[in-house]
Chain A
């Protein structure tokens, strides 16, 4: 596709529910990032994939967060047993190589009630 596509755009989850957020990067992009943006804050790094390999997951806030990119294209961020503090916009970004100005998707706004 022309850009990075994320779905769903909005997700409301009850506390304790599991959620899965999907990211379709730009075709052929090797690098894929997930960021979390809390209200009024800048995006914060969660994890990075180079093709299907997850090379850095140092930003994942807890073991309830899990990300995968099994075939080196689509990626899924899963959050188990959601908590209120997980409410944020989750942004996915991709780039064709080790470049700096990568392309962000529009994000998924997660609200945990």
Chain B
């Protein structure tokens, strides 16, 4: 039962272009969504997040879009840089069932490679 899905295992982009990473979810009780970035041999690092009451959140080169009706979110990176090459995880949180402490459900991850 994969409640958060990242259907693209990998993405390759040219430096300077836009990277778009996608994520779909099935649980309508999710109320907060996050993107994490992970380099090899390191733990995931928080990148950007969005509440379910918004449809867009922007932070520098990173923008997250949320389409609640489609249960879909995406992360846009523009312009992409070689240092952005990493694994990107989408994660979601639900406040249901008393789990208000921040338990996260992660997608499988997408490997982003930005070529110089």
CB within 8 Å of B: which residues of A?
4, 31, 33, 35, 40-45, 48, 50, 55-56, 91, 93, 95, 98-107
Among B42, B46, B101, B108, the residue within 8 A (CB) of A101 is B46
B106 near A44 with CB under 8 A, answer: yes
Closest 8 A/B residue pairs (Cβ): A42-B106, A104-B43, A101-B46, A106-B43, A104-B44, A43-B106, A105-B43, A42-B108
Considering the chains assembled together, what is the distance between the CA atoms of A103 and B34 in angstroms? 13
Among B32, B43, B108, B109, the residue within 8 A (CB) of A91 is B43
Considering the chains assembled together, what is the distance between the CA atoms of A105 and B104 in angstroms? 16
> B49 at the A/B interface (Cβ < 8 Å)?
yes
Q: Which residues of A contact B105 (CB under 8 A)?
A: 45
B103 near A93 with CB under 8 A, answer: no
Q: Which residue from chain A places its CB closest to the CB of B41 in the assembled complex? A: A106
A56 near B103 with CB under 8 A, answer: yes
Q: Which residues of A contact B100 (CB under 8 A)?
A: 98
Number of residues from B at the complex interface, CB < 8 A: 26
Among B6, B99, B102, the residue within 8 A (CB) of A102 is B102
Considering the chains assembled together, what is the distance between the CA atoms of A42 and B49 in angstroms? 17
Considering the chains assembled together, what is the distance between the CA atoms of A100 and B42 in angstroms? 19
Would you list which residues of chain B between 70 and 116 have a CB under 8 Å from chain A? 89, 91, 93, 99-109
A-B contact pairs, 5 of them (CB 8 A): A40-B109, A45-B103, A45-B104, A102-B102, A105-B43
Q: Distance (Å) between the CB of A80 and the closest chain B CB?
A: 24
Q: Which residues of A contact B93 (CB under 8 A)?
A: 100
A99 near B104 with CB under 8 A, answer: no
Q: Which residues of A contact B6 (CB under 8 A)?
A: 42
Among A40, A99, A105, the residue within 8 A (CB) of B102 is A99
Considering the chains assembled together, what is the distance between the CA atoms of A73 and B102 in angstroms? 18
A48 near B103 with CB under 8 A, answer: yes
Considering the chains assembled together, what is the distance between the CA atoms of A100 and B101 in angstroms? 8
Q: Distance (Å) between the CB of B43 and the closest chain A CB?
A: 3
Q: Distance (Å) between the CB of B104 and the closest chain A CB?
A: 7
Q: Which residues of B contact A106 (CB under 8 A)?
A: 41-43
Given A100-B32, A103-B46, A107-B43, decide whether A95 and B109 contact each other with a Cβ distance below 8 A.
no
